[in-house]
Amino acid sequence: MLWVIFSGGMIYGSMLWLLRLADGEKKLWLPGKKRNVLGSLSFGNAIIITVICGRGELLEPLAGGDRYLQLGAEGILLSLLAGGLLAAACMDGENCYVYNYVWWWCLLWTGILLGVSCGGVTVTGSWERTVLTGIRQAAAVAVFVLLQQFLFARMYGRADSHAFSVCALISCRWRGELLWFLIHMLLAVTLLALVQLGKGNVTCRGKLRTPKPFIPYIVITFWGEILWMLCSQGA
């Protein structure tokens, strides 16, 4: 419980700090009811991150005394990442625009997270398997990012393609590969379509009558997919 509170505080604090940087605290420093909603979302994310860390450790148990140290580091890094993703979703919801520094924030913690996970020694893992998996994932991420930046960005926007690219990089921590990246896209689009169909915001041609922010759907389906990945891997 204490860890969930700590993680939720980190998510909430990093998210609000990123929002305050956006335009001098004038517009995105959300007061009142919206701030309460974002606080609830932060602690909801903290619960999900706690579950992910626990299941990930079951999948690849750490050897020696590094177990709690690496789990703690992973939880902190994921909390900072979650704060960045929530900030991006909030910016997209408010202005349909996400500042680039948010993606650099996410990439910073993603790089450290992947470095920490590669540096950990597991009971069931091997260095050779880690190297081969890393090469395969690097190729998959490169292909996916290129598709996002040069093809899909024309369909739904540059910020959305950045969000998918960042999520693909993060999912490499849990052996995410090209199929999982594409599944994430399908889940996000499906969730958006279902919600907007329910609101009557879809035309007969399958287009939105009124454009809606897409990043919140990307973030929601991302965390759900990570849990799915871990369950499918036997965690």
Q: At 67, give phi and psi (nearest 5°).
A: -55, -60
pLDDT digits (tens, 9 = 90+) for 74-117: 999 999 999 999 999 999 998 888 999 999 999 999 999 988 77
Q: Of 27-31, 46-50, 205-209, give the lowest mean pLDDT range.
A: 27-31
> With a threshold of 0.85, does the pTM exceed it?
yes
pLDDT digits (tens, 9 = 90+) for 169-208: 999 988 888 999 999 999 999 999 999 999 999 888 778 8
